Amino acid sequence: MQAEARAIGKLRHVRLVNLIGYCCDGDERLLVSEYMPNDTLNKHLFHWEKQTMEWAMRLRVALYVAEGLEYCRQSGHKLYHDFNTCRVLFDENGSPRLSCYGWMKNSKDGKNFSTNLAYTPPEYLISGTLIPESVVFSFGTFLLDLLSGKHIPPSHVSDTGGNETERREGAREISIGGLVTPILVACDAPLKGVVHEPR
């Protein structure tokens, strides 16, 4: 853990929740990061039904998270563990930032990639092997969550039906045809069609 924490502590970027320090004393393990006062993307997206996240903010989240992942890839940290909407937090200015904790292995043997089956790449489920492209799969699932407002709760790791089926059907609609109309099929219903093409 100490080696990982030291390496991650050197990462500094405006799109990240930067690691400030850590404690590794006996069996005690503690990570300290910057304080993010405005909750997680998971809460904004799925638990505040009367305050629907606007389309512009969803695009902003997608861009900022992608920039955070790309910075870390260029810095040599290509594998992000347990990537999901809980890993995106909002700072005091309301800007989304990616948690630094995803670059720490979740288990002592480093084999626990994700607590949510929907985000776990297929090559890991089959062989237990991670490659840098595994993050691309997780990011794609993240985008579908962001777009549709539907997800599989982390506690339902073995549930491959329900919302996941609906989301995959929505993704199929996105992959055929033009920009706006197919996307509306998968979009979060509370948006009520308020989706604009980027200029």
Catalytic residues: 82
Asked if 17 contacts 99 with a C-beta cutoff of 8 angstroms, the reply is yes
What crossing angle do the helices spanning 134-148 and 55-74 adopt, rounded to 10°? 170
What is each CA distance from 13 to 34, 70, 142, in whole angstroms? 12, 11, 21
Residue type, 110: G
Asked if 105 contacts 114 with a C-beta cutoff of 8 angstroms, the reply is no
3-state secondary structure of 180: helix
Asked if 11 contacts 77 with a C-beta cutoff of 8 angstroms, the reply is yes
Of 103, 106, 105, 141, nearest in space to 121 by CA: 141
Asked whether the CA dihedral 106, 113, 81, 111 is positive or negative, the reply is: positive
